[in-house]
């Protein structure tokens, strides 16, 4: 920011010309101050937007038509990067009526240059008809473990701020179809079943049965999201006989909030994951893996660096993670046409104690501590990292840089056109095979000092 020098020791000239010049200088100075004040206010607004949990989600996809044919309900959406995502299974959540309605959309049956028509596979709640004009697409598909075919218990984790709800998902199959989605009758139901039902069971190792159930995977959702985001990931874990704990954390709308009701981008949320590790270990877990999605990735990386239980951590799995918040926030600011000086000052405000009245944070955020490209040398545990190059929200560049910096620990699985946190939806086979292969390697007994094979 340019320095404004106020030289009070020099008295102004008393001539008319001097007064005129003084007026010009005062006007210019006042204009500059106004511009600087406006820029500072804009930066404060940007900084607050980063750390404030959203009150509502923007419905950014327009609905052009909803109708039925002989096979069921269809919806035509304006073509956007998210609404035209295909893939296998190619199923996505569609939210409408300001979050009061939820459906699952699947197969693309028609498309033009500006529209996409998809089959509606299921309406969970709300009325999806021609009166619906807007909605939004995300990757959840299921809203609870039970709805996806898993046995789960509602539990409370004693977090540092208070109780945090969680789902404890059994390592044993429920006996119900897993990941079943209502489909037209002419679709082969066997093809939509979970891969474990249609393929050979995983090869058993010395660590199986009861021993496997003592390995827990703690799943951590992302920013502006909630526990249902990770339900898609439960099947690959259960297929290996592992127990899952799906957690909430401060300021996500479910867990006990912090006093400032602000995200700390992982710098404080990790304490709630640490409490989840405490819960797992006190309920029979011997080994724990951490699985983070988006900002959940930043949270579990902080947990990995700060936990008291490092020897119990088997490794970390990451889906579309924030590896470097500075890079992610710069990308989002550029995408929103935020001027570079406003963006840079906003990042400065997040890290300064004197700026906490402007940001609303109780404590400043150390963005350097959240940069795992710079901290790559500190990694001590294996990492599975999956990211799409067209993410659109959290760029994949830092993930690739981290993988390149630590090829001894990081297994990187690239996706090309899956967008943010929709990797499972776009290519479920690649996603689940990557997870099960990587976990199986971590679980298998190996000779001391023998490196495990890595799939790049």
Q: Is residue 119 part of a domain?
A: yes
Number of domains into which the chain is organized = 2
| Predicted local distance difference test score (pLDDT) of residue 211 | 81
Element (H, E) at 266: none
| Predicted local distance difference test score (pLDDT) of residue 176 | 84
Question: Are 116 and 218 found together in one domain?
Answer: no
Question: Are 155 and 240 found together in one domain?
Answer: yes
| Predicted local distance difference test score (pLDDT) of residue 29 | 57
| Predicted local distance difference test score (pLDDT) of residue 306 | 98
| Predicted local distance difference test score (pLDDT) of residue 180 | 76
Question: Are 133 and 270 found together in one domain?
Answer: no
Sign of CA dihedral 313, 316, 321, 322: positive
Confidence of residue 18 (pLDDT cuts 50, 70, 90): very low
Over 70: is that where the pLDDT of 451 sits?
Answer: no
pLDDT in tens, 244-263: 999 999 999 999 999 999 99
| Predicted local distance difference test score (pLDDT) of residue 19 | 41
Q: Is residue 231 part of a domain?
A: yes
Question: Are 91 and 165 found together in one domain?
Answer: no
Assess contact for 276 and 166: CB atoms under 8 A.
yes
> How many CB atoms within 10 Å of residue 202?
15
Question: Are 287 and 345 found together in one domain?
Answer: yes
| Predicted local distance difference test score (pLDDT) of residue 179 | 83
Enclosing domain of residue 279: 146-172+206-443
Q: By C-alpha distance, which of 168, 173, 140 is closest to 156?
A: 168
Question: Are 162 and 80 found together in one domain?
Answer: no
Q: What is the mean pLDDT of residues 42-56?
A: 95
Q: What is the mean pLDDT of residues 276-294?
A: 99
| Predicted local distance difference test score (pLDDT) of residue 13 | 42
| Predicted local distance difference test score (pLDDT) of residue 440 | 97
> How many CB atoms within 10 Å of residue 59?
18
Q: Is residue 287 part of a domain?
A: yes
Over 50: is that where the pLDDT of 4 sits?
Answer: no
Question: Are 329 and 213 found together in one domain?
Answer: yes
Over 90: is that where the pLDDT of 272 sits?
Answer: yes
Owner of token pair 């976990």: 439
Q: Is residue 188 part of a domain?
A: no
Assess contact for 137 and 83: CB atoms under 8 A.
yes
Element (H, E) at 397: helix 397-405
pLDDT in tens, 193-206: 333 333 344 444 44
Confidence of residue 22 (pLDDT cuts 50, 70, 90): very low
| Predicted local distance difference test score (pLDDT) of residue 39 | 77
Task: From residue 430, give the alpha-carbon distance in Å to each of 259, 433, 439.
Answer: 41, 5, 14
Over 50: is that where the pLDDT of 418 sits?
Answer: yes
Over 90: is that where the pLDDT of 431 sits?
Answer: yes
pLDDT in tens, 103-145: 999 999 999 999 999 999 999 999 999 999 999 999 999 999 9
Question: Are 129 and 219 found together in one domain?
Answer: no
pLDDT higher at 179 or 236: 236
| Predicted local distance difference test score (pLDDT) of residue 37 | 74
Q: What is the mean pLDDT of residues 419-438?
A: 98
Confidence of residue 175 (pLDDT cuts 50, 70, 90): confident
Question: Are 246 and 98 found together in one domain?
Answer: no
Over 70: is that where the pLDDT of 163 sits?
Answer: yes
What percent of the chain lies above the pLDDT cut of 70? 83
Question: Are 222 and 368 found together in one domain?
Answer: yes
Over 90: is that where the pLDDT of 436 sits?
Answer: yes
Q: Is residue 305 part of a domain?
A: yes
Question: Are 155 and 133 found together in one domain?
Answer: no
Task: From residue 341, give the alpha-carbon distance in Å to each of 156, 347, 381.
Answer: 44, 10, 37
CATH of the domain at 102: 2.40.30
Final residue in a domain of this structure, among 95, 122, 138: 138
Over 80: is that where the pLDDT of 157 sits?
Answer: yes
Q: Is residue 184 part of a domain?
A: no
Which pTM does this prediction carry? Answer: 0.86
Question: Are 112 and 160 found together in one domain?
Answer: no
Q: Is residue 95 part of a domain?
A: yes
| Predicted local distance difference test score (pLDDT) of residue 196 | 37
Q: Is residue 192 part of a domain?
A: no
| Predicted local distance difference test score (pLDDT) of residue 78 | 98
Instruction: Tell me how far apart the alpha carbons of residues 68 and 128 are, in angstroms, rounded to a whole number.
Output: 11
Q: By C-alpha distance, which of 322, 331, 329, 412 is closest to 371?
A: 322
Q: By C-alpha distance, which of 238, 202, 200, 204 is closest to 219?
A: 238
Instruction: Tell me how far apart the alpha carbons of residues 350 and 356 are, in angstroms, rounded to a whole number.
Output: 8
The mean pLDDT value of the chain amounts to 88
What percent of the chain lies above the pLDDT cut of 90? 79
Instruction: Tell me how far apart the alpha carbons of residues 175 and 187 are, in angstroms, rounded to a whole number.
Output: 22
| Predicted local distance difference test score (pLDDT) of residue 249 | 99
């Amino acid at each position: 920011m340019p320095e404004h020098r106020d030289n009070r020791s020099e008295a102004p000239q008393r001539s008319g010309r001097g007064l005129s010049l003084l007026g010009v200088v005062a006007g210019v100075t006042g204009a500059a101050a106004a511009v600087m004040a406006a820029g500072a206010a804009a930066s404060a607004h940007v900084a607050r937007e980063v750390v404030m949990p959203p009150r509502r989600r923007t419905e950014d996809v327009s609905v052009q038509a909803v109708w039925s044919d002989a096979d069921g309900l269809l919806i035509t959406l304006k073509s956007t990067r998210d609404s035209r995502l295909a893939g296998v299974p190619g199923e996505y959540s569609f939210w409408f009526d300001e979050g009061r309605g939820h459906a699952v959309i699947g197969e693309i049956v028609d498309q033009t240059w500006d529209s996409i028509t998809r089959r509606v596979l299921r309406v969970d709640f709300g009325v999806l008809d021609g009166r619906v004009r807007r909605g939004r697409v995300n990757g959840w598909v299921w809203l609870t473990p039970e709805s996806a075919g898993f046995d789960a218990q509602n539990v409370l984790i004693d977090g540092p701020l208070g109780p945090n709800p969680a789902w404890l998902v059994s390592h044993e199959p429920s006996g119900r179809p897993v990941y079943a989605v209502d489909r037209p009758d002419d679709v082969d139901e066997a093809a939509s079943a979970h891969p474990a039902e249609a393929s050979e069971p995983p090869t058993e190792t010395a660590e199986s049965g009861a021993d496997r159930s003592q390995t827990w995977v703690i799943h951590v959702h992302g920013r502006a999201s909630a526990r249902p985001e990770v339900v898609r990931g439960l099947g690959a874990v259960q297929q290996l006989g592992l127990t899952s704990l799906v957690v909430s954390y401060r300021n996500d709308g479910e867990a006990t909030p912090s006093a400032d009701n602000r995200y700390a981008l992982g710098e404080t949320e990790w304490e709630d994951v640490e409490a989840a590790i405490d819960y797992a270990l006190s309920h029979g877990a011997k080994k724990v893996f951490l699985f983070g999605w988006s900002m959940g990735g930043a949270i579990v990386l902080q947990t990995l660096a700060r936990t008291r239980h490092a020897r119990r951590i088997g490794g970390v799995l990451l889906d579309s993670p924030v590896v470097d918040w500075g890079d992610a926030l710069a990308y989002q600011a550029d995408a929103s046409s935020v001027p570079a000086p406003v963006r840079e000052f906003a990042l400065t405000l997040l890290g300064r104690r004197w700026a906490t009245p402007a940001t609303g944070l109780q404590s400043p955020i150390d963005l350097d501590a959240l940069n795992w490209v710079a901290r790559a040398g500190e990694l001590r545990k294996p990492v599975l990292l999956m990211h799409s190059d067209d993410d659109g929200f959290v760029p994949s560049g830092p993930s690739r840089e981290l993988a390149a910096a630590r090829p001894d620990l990081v297994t990187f699985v690239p996706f090309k056109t899956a967008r943010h946190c929709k990797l499972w939806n776009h290519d479920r086979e690649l996603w689940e095979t990557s997870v099960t292969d990587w976990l199986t390697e971590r679980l298998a007994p190996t000779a001391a000092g023998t490196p495990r094979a890595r799939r790049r």
